[in-house]
A and B are shown apart, each in its own frame.
Chain A
Amino acid sequence: MSPRGQRRRTPRDELADETAYGDLYLRRLRRAQLGLSLLALVAFGGLVGSLPLLLALAPGLRHVDILHIPIAVWLVTVPVYPLFVAIAAAYRRRANALDESFRDLVRDE
């Protein structure tokens, strides 16, 4: 689909000149990154965002103890923090990989 009859152009040229092709490349990257962010947001919302609702709807959790402390108290003090880091680290790896494949596209062809 490259424009015929002209000098052959690289993706980098298309991006640098802000052509329609360049725009297409970049839009694809932006949408992929946004999709990844929204996926991570859904994971966060499902795991942490649902916690207040879960605790409100299942008051029985207060009567189950671990190490003499109700499980409901545990849930809001300790496990959420490692969970944040896990979601963040997974997101970072995927986001950097998306950037890297974009670099490959622009650099290598």
Chain B
Amino acid sequence: MIAIAAVALVTFGAIGLGGWGVRFARTTSDLYVASRAISPWWNAAAVSGEYLSAASFLGIAGLEMKLGVPALWQSIGFTAGYLALLLFVAAPLRRFGSYTIPDFAEGRLGSRRLRMLAVGAVVGIAGFYLIPQLKGAGIALQEVTGAPYWVGIALVGAIVVLNVALGGMRGITYVQAFQFWVKTFAIAVPAIVLLIHLGGLPDRATLFGDGLPRAPAGGVTITLDHYQRVTFPRAVSYEDGAIRGRAAAGESLVLAPGVVRLAAGAVIPVAAGTRVQTGNSWSRPVGSGGEASPVFIYSLLIATFLGTMGLPHILVRFYTNPDGTAARTTTVRVLGLLGVFYLFPAVYGALGRVMAPGLYLTGQTDTVVLRLPERAWPGVGGQVLGALVAAGAFAAFMSTSSGLLVSVAGTVSFDLWGRGRGRPSTAVRRRRFRISAVAGIIVPALIALGARSVDISILVGWAFALAASTFCPMFVLGIWWPRLTSRGAAAGMLAGGLLASSAIVIGLVVGASHLGGALDALLTQPAIVSVPVAFAAMIGVSLMSERPAGVAAHMLALHAPEGLGLGARVGAGEDGRGATLSAEPVTPT
């Protein structure tokens, strides 16, 4: 009950703030980029709020519990992405002054076809990212309230589309900033309170020594709603409904639906697909195989480091800074805010291993953040903390989905719809934006509905790999290398995008985990190969094609600091501040 109230509170808070923001959405510029007048602290909180998705709020802790400490490289990569954004993209991109990523592609390289290629990549990346958010919402609401799976998807979808279609970017900015603080509060407070309640990390042998997860005092009671194949690492007595059995060490058997009981201290059997690990192996940050191998870790770090700048919902938010200097300030603050948030998911994974080991049996480690508070602190205290994390999870689904939807709706209505017939009026554009927003949520929601029992966690990694292999080289070379041509950019985006996607598809079809070693890592996260290939193709094809003309004006727009009356409007020539410059002689030295 407390959980339902907390979720409702966050939801209505978001609707209320969105409604408040509607009053500001008067012009097209308000709708798309909040009239570019959001201050750095608001913007930094909004960027962080938008960024912290289901993968960050629930996924990292769940993966840590399942795989071990190597999962924490994800949080490092997710944060490091903003460093790359700061160093190579933030200020010039803001100064160039485009509305969307495809707008930049055409503005910088002057090719309509390149713009369409970028539109395709935006829709693909945003779609891959949106589906897991909606699925997460369905599962989380089911966990918390027992409602059917579709209710969470419908609820989050409806709220998000309402907020986006009515408020556009400006309303959304305040909602996102609010959601960041909800999420940080909701992950930090329970983690700290539980650590104090338990008196620090319990059971060091299970976490860092040679222990296996064991049933805590009072035993483990789990209600299975389906047949579940499990492996017993040690000989253990168990109850499965009316059956009392004793499994031998290493025995694998299928448990029937019903209530499964294990006595206190019993080593927990694990679901098929989960590896049995002692604390020693679990806590090793870099291991030898699969997602703990150095190849996978470096590929993941490259995908997240370079992919963040290519996420459409993040970039569009950088256009809302007043100028390039403010864009830098915003990014530094985002790094600080994310650093605070990412201290906490690790706590849930570790406490879950000791306090909620029943999740190893059902294989549902990705719900550990939602389940842990009540397991670690039975009673009202745990219920209140559980309500808090449930509210935070909902904030995560809503904010990331809103941001993705703004970018999809912006791209579709601005780039695809009715171009080349003059400038449509504000009313027409606004209607197109709203229709695009509705369409942009219905398609992913239907896919999420169908993906109830399919493991789609790979989609977020795919989105990062795609972004790193397409938009990252286009931005970095487009901003810093005048010689880049539209043919080169198209070739690089196609090469990188197709290579990354085909690797992941092959991995899915063949079943990468059976291959083992470096090949397994590369098929799951191909960025370490596809990003260099994309850069090489862009540079190679650009050098083979004709030297582009008129680049000087673009470089001026990208790199000239503001306040000089130069930059984007240089072609127009007239600028008030220009006249006040003195006419002293100058010698370039």
C-alpha gap A14/B560 in the complex (Å): 13
Pairwise interchain contact A68-B286, C-beta atoms closer than 8 A: no
- Closest residue of chain A to B580 (Cβ to Cβ) is A107
CB-CB contacts below 8 Å: A83-109 with B: 84-85, 87-89, 91-92, 95-96, 99-100, 102-103, 106-109
Which A residues from 11 to 37 make CB contacts under 8 A with B? 11-12, 14-16, 18, 21-27, 29-30, 33-34, 37
Q: Which stretch (B9-17, B79-87, B129-137, B214-222) binds chain A?
A: B79-87
B583 A76 Cβ-Cβ under 8 A: no
Judged by a CB distance under 8 angstroms, whether B555 is at the interface is: yes
Are the C-beta atoms of A34 and B480 separated by less than 8 Å? yes
The residues of A that contact B343 with a CB separation of less than 8 Å are 77-78, 81
A92 touches B332 (CB 8 A): yes
The prevalent SS among residues of B at the interface is: helix
A56 lies within 8 A of B294 (CB): yes
Give the docked Cα–Cα distance between A10 and B285 (Å): 58
- Tell me whether A52 and B294 are in contact (CB under 8 A): yes
* Size bracket of the B interface: 35 or more
Are A91 and B208 in touch, CB under 8 angstroms?
Answer: no
Pairwise interchain contact B87-A37, C-beta atoms closer than 8 A: yes
**Out of A18, A40, A68, which one reaches B201, CB within 8 Å?**
A68
Which of B87, B294, B297, B560 is close to A40, meaning CB atoms less than 8 Å apart? B87
Known: A52-B294, A81-B339. A95 touches B582 (CB 8 A): no
Our pick among B72, B338, B561 for the contact of A103 (Cβ within 8 Å) is B561
A82 to chain B, nearest CB (A): 7
A16 vs B565: C-alpha distance when bound (angstroms): 9
Q: Give the contact stretch, choosing among B114-122, B163-171, B323-331, B408-416.
A: B323-331
Q: B458: shortest Cβ distance to chain A, in Å?
A: 21
B residues 248-295 near A (Cβ < 8 Å) are 280, 283-286, 294
Chain A residues within 8 Å of chain B by Cβ, number: 63
B380 at the interface (CB under 8 A from A): no
Residues of A close to B283: CB separation below 8 A? 62, 70, 72-73
CB distance B563 to A103 under 8 Å? yes
Task: For A2, list chain B residues within 8 Å (CB).
Answer: 585-588
The CA of A30 and the CA of B45, in the complex, are separated in Å by 30
CB pair B339 A68 closer than 8 Å: no
Interface residues of B in 309-350 (CB under 8 A from A): 324-325, 328-329, 331-332, 335-336, 338-340, 342-343, 346
B434 → A minimal CB distance (Å): 37
Given contacts A84-B339, A88-B331, contact A37 B88 (CB under 8 A): yes
Which residue on chain A has the smallest CB distance to residue B566?
A15
Beta-carbon contact of A52 and B588 below 8 Å: no
List 5 tightest A-B contacts by C-beta distance, closest first. Answer: A81-B339, A99-B561, A8-B585, A37-B87, A56-B286
- Could you list some 18 contacts between A and B, CB below 8 A? A9-B585, A15-B560, A16-B578, A26-B560, A30-B480, A30-B559, A44-B80, A49-B301, A52-B298, A68-B201, A69-B201, A85-B335, A88-B331, A88-B335, A91-B87, A92-B331, A96-B328, A99-B325
Interface, chain A (partner B; CB < 8 A): 1-2, 8-12, 14-16, 18, 21-27, 29-30, 33-34, 37, 40-41, 44, 48-49, 52-53, 55-56, 59, 62, 68-70, 72-73, 75-78, 80-82, 84-85, 87-89, 91-92, 95-96, 99-100, 102-103, 106-109
Q: Which positions in B face A, CB cutoff 8 Å? A: 69, 72-73, 76, 79-80, 82-84, 86-88, 91, 200-201, 204, 208, 280, 283-286, 294, 297-298, 301, 324-325, 328-329, 331-332, 335-336, 338-340, 342-343, 346, 480, 552-553, 555-556, 559-561, 563-566, 570, 573, 578, 581-588
